Structure 1
Amino acid sequence: MATATAASRVTGFVRVLVLAAALGFGSRLLDSYNVANTLPNTVYDLVAGGAMAGVVVPLLTRAALTDHDGGVGYAQRLLSLLAYGLGFVTVLSVLLAPYLVDLCAPGFTPDQRQLAVVFSRYFLPQILFYGLSAAAGAVLNIRGRFAAPTWAPLVNNVVVIAVGSTYLAVGGATSVPALTPAEVLLLAVGTTSGVIAQMALVVRALARSGFPLRLRLDPRGIGVRRIGRLGGWVLLSVAAAQLLSTVANRIASTAGAGAVSVFQYAYTLFQLPYAVVALSLMTAILPRLSRHAAHRDYPQLIDGLSRSLRLTGAVLVPVAAAMVALGPYLAVLLFAHGHSDPMAVSLLGATVAAFGLLLLPFTGYMILLRGFYALQDTRTPALVTTFVSVVGIGGCLAARRLLAGHDLVVGLPAAYALAYACGLVAAGLLLRRRMGRLDGRRVARSYTRMTVAVIVAVGVAATVAHVTAPHVGTGWAGSSVILAAAALAGAASYAAVARLVRLGELREIVVATFAGFRAT
Structure 2
Amino acid sequence: MAVATLASRVAGFLRILVLAAALGLGSRLLDTYNVANTLPNAVYELVVGGTMASIVVPLLTRAALDEPDGGVLYAQRLLSLIVYVLGAVTVLAIVVAPWLIDLYAPGFTAEQRELAIVFSRFFLPQILFYGLSATTSAILNTRGRFAAGAWAPLCNSVIVIAVGLTYLAVAGSTVAGGSAPGGPASAGPPAEGGGTGLSTGHLLLLGLGTTAGVVAQTVLVLWALSRSGFPVRLRLDPRGIGIRRIGKLGVWVLLAVVASQTLTAAATRAASWAGPGGVTAYQNASAVYLVPYAVIAVSVMTAILPRLSQYAARGERQRVTTGLSRAVRTALVVMAPIAAAFLLLGPHIATVLFAHGNSSAATVRVLGLVLAGFGLTLVPFTSYMILQRGLYALQDTRTSALITALVAAVGVAGCAAAGFLLPGEEIVIGIPVAYALAYTVGLNVTALVLRRRLGYLDGRRLLRTHVRVLVATAAGAGCAGLVVWAVNATTWAGAFLTVTGAVLAGAVGYLAAGRLMRLAELRHLLNLALPGLRTW
TM-score between both structures, scaled by the size of structure 2: 0.88
Residue 367 of structure 1 corresponds to which residue in structure 2?
A: 386
Pick which of 486-495 and 61-70 moved more: 61-70
Residue 100 of structure 1 corresponds to which residue in structure 2?
A: 100
The one of 476, 486, 493 aligned to 2:509? 493
CA contact (8 A) 2:383 2:443 kept: yes
Question: What is the DSSP-based 3-state SS (H/G/I as helix, E as strand, rest coil) of the residue aligned with 2:244?
Answer: helix
The one of 326, 337, 350 aligned to 2:356? 337
Question: What is the DSSP-based 3-state SS (H/G/I as helix, E as strand, rest coil) of the residue aligned with 2:370?
Answer: helix
Q: Distance in 1 between matches of 2:403 and 2:7?
A: 33
Letter of the 1:500 counterpart: L
Residue 422 of structure 1 corresponds to which residue in structure 2?
A: 441
Asked if residue 250 in structure 1 is aligned to residue 269 in structure 2, the reply is yes
CA contact (8 A) 2:527 2:533 kept: no
CA contact (8 A) 2:267 2:415 kept: yes
Letter of the 2:510 counterpart: Y
Would the alpha carbon gap of residues 466 and 374 (structure 1) be closer, same or farther in structure 2, given more than 3 Å must change?
same
Pick which of 223-232 and 352-361 moved more: 223-232
Pick which of 494-503 and 60-69 moved more: 60-69
Residue 520 of structure 2 corresponds to which residue in structure 1?
A: 504
- CA RMSD in angstroms comes to 2.6
User: Counterparts in 2 of 1:373-388, with a 5 A limit?
Assistant: 373-388=392-407
User: Counterparts in 2 of 1:128-143, with a 5 A limit?
Assistant: 128-140=128-140
Q: Distance in 1 between matches of 2:202 and 2:300?
A: 42
Q: Distance in 1 between matches of 2:205 and 2:256?
A: 36
Q: Distance in 1 between matches of 2:67 and 2:445?
A: 42
Asked if residue 409 in structure 1 is aligned to residue 428 in structure 2, the reply is yes
Would the alpha carbon gap of residues 108 and 65 (structure 1) be closer, same or farther in structure 2, given more than 3 Å must change?
same
Question: What is the DSSP-based 3-state SS (H/G/I as helix, E as strand, rest coil) of the residue aligned with 1:437?
Answer: coil
Residue 446 of structure 1 corresponds to which residue in structure 2?
A: 465
Question: What is the DSSP-based 3-state SS (H/G/I as helix, E as strand, rest coil) of the residue aligned with 1:221?
Answer: coil
Letter of the 1:281 counterpart: V
Asked if residue 261 in structure 1 is aligned to residue 280 in structure 2, the reply is yes
User: Counterparts in 2 of 1:200-215, with a 5 A limit?
Assistant: 200-206=219-225, 215=234
Residue 37 of structure 2 corresponds to which residue in structure 1?
A: 37
Letter of the 1:508 counterpart: H
Asked if residue 194 in structure 1 is aligned to residue 209 in structure 2, the reply is no
Residue 200 of structure 2 corresponds to which residue in structure 1?
A: 181
Q: Distance in 1 between matches of 2:387 and 2:137?
A: 28
Residue 91 of structure 1 corresponds to which residue in structure 2?
A: 91
Q: Distance in 2 between matches of 1:374 and 1:66?
A: 17
User: Counterparts in 2 of 1:251-290, with a 5 A limit?
Assistant: 251-290=270-309
Residue 26 of structure 1 corresponds to which residue in structure 2?
A: 26
Unaligned 5+ runs, structure 1: none
Q: Distance in 1 between matches of 2:311 and 2:339?
A: 31
Unaligned 5+ runs, structure 2: 173-186
User: Counterparts in 2 of 1:143-182, with a 5 A limit?
Assistant: 147-170=147-170, 171=172, 173-175=188-190, 176-182=195-201
Letter of the 1:362 counterpart: F
Q: Distance in 2 between matches of 1:410 and 1:210?
A: 49
Residues 238-286 of structure 1: CA deviation (Å, up to 9, x unaligned):
2211111111111111110011011011111111112222232333444
The one of 320, 327, 330 aligned to 1:308? 327
Pick which of 369-378 and 153-162 moved more: 369-378
The one of 492, 495, 514 aligned to 1:476? 492
Note the C-alpha offset of 1:78. 3.6
Residue 370 of structure 2 corresponds to which residue in structure 1?
A: 351
Residue 410 of structure 2 corresponds to which residue in structure 1?
A: 391
Letter of the 1:102 counterpart: D
Note the C-alpha offset of 1:517. 10
CA contact (8 A) 2:347 2:365 kept: yes
Residues 82-112 of structure 1: CA deviation (Å, up to 9, x unaligned):
2222111111111101100000111111111
Pick which of 455-464 and 88-97 moved more: 455-464
Question: What is the DSSP-based 3-state SS (H/G/I as helix, E as strand, rest coil) of the residue aligned with 2:50?
Answer: helix
Q: Distance in 2 between matches of 1:218 and 1:298?
A: 37
Residues 309-329 of structure 1: CA deviation (Å, up to 9, x unaligned):
333222222211111011111
Residues 306-365 of structure 1: CA deviation (Å, up to 9, x unaligned):
333333222222211111011111000111111111111100110000000011111221
Q: Distance in 2 between matches of 1:296 and 1:67?
A: 19
Q: Distance in 1 between matches of 2:457 and 2:52?
A: 30
Question: What is the DSSP-based 3-state SS (H/G/I as helix, E as strand, rest coil) of the residue aligned with 1:515?
Answer: coil
Asked if residue 221 in structure 1 is aligned to residue 237 in structure 2, the reply is no
Note the C-alpha offset of 1:458. 2.1
Q: Distance in 1 between matches of 2:314 and 2:227?
A: 39
Note the C-alpha offset of 1:370. 2.6
CA contact (8 A) 2:54 2:395 kept: no
Would the alpha carbon gap of residues 213 and 317 (structure 1) be closer, same or farther in structure 2, given more than 3 Å must change?
closer
Residues 493-513 of structure 1: CA deviation (Å, up to 9, x unaligned):
222233333333322322232
CA contact (8 A) 2:343 2:371 kept: yes
Would the alpha carbon gap of residues 411 and 357 (structure 1) be closer, same or farther in structure 2, given more than 3 Å must change?
same
Residue 514 of structure 1 corresponds to which residue in structure 2?
A: 530
TM-score between both structures, scaled by the size of structure 1: 0.91
Give the aligned length: 515
User: Counterparts in 2 of 1:52-131, with a 5 A limit?
Assistant: 52-60=52-60, 74-131=74-131
Note the C-alpha offset of 1:53. 4.0
Note the C-alpha offset of 1:235. 2.0
Question: What is the DSSP-based 3-state SS (H/G/I as helix, E as strand, rest coil) of the residue aligned with 2:42?
Answer: helix
Q: Distance in 1 between matches of 2:91 and 2:3?
A: 36
Question: What is the DSSP-based 3-state SS (H/G/I as helix, E as strand, rest coil) of the residue aligned with 1:502?
Answer: coil
Note the C-alpha offset of 1:305. 3.2
Q: Distance in 2 between matches of 1:390 and 1:177?
A: 34
CA contact (8 A) 2:21 2:359 kept: yes
Would the alpha carbon gap of residues 322 and 68 (structure 1) be closer, same or farther in structure 2, given more than 3 Å must change?
closer
Pick which of 141-150 and 357-366 moved more: 141-150
Would the alpha carbon gap of residues 300 and 78 (structure 1) be closer, same or farther in structure 2, given more than 3 Å must change?
closer
Note the C-alpha offset of 1:180. 1.6
Residues 152-194 of structure 1: CA deviation (Å, up to 9, x unaligned):
2221111111000101112161123442221111100111111
Letter of the 1:380 counterpart: T
Would the alpha carbon gap of residues 254 and 72 (structure 1) be closer, same or farther in structure 2, given more than 3 Å must change?
same
Letter of the 1:93 counterpart: A
Would the alpha carbon gap of residues 300 and 209 (structure 1) be closer, same or farther in structure 2, given more than 3 Å must change?
closer
Would the alpha carbon gap of residues 419 and 179 (structure 1) be closer, same or farther in structure 2, given more than 3 Å must change?
same
Residue 16 of structure 1 corresponds to which residue in structure 2?
A: 16
Would the alpha carbon gap of residues 511 and 66 (structure 1) be closer, same or farther in structure 2, given more than 3 Å must change?
closer
Pick which of 192-201 and 23-32 moved more: 192-201
Question: What is the DSSP-based 3-state SS (H/G/I as helix, E as strand, rest coil) of the residue aligned with 1:357?
Answer: coil
Q: Distance in 2 between matches of 1:506 and 1:208?
A: 37
Residue 177 of structure 2 corresponds to which residue in structure 1?
A: none
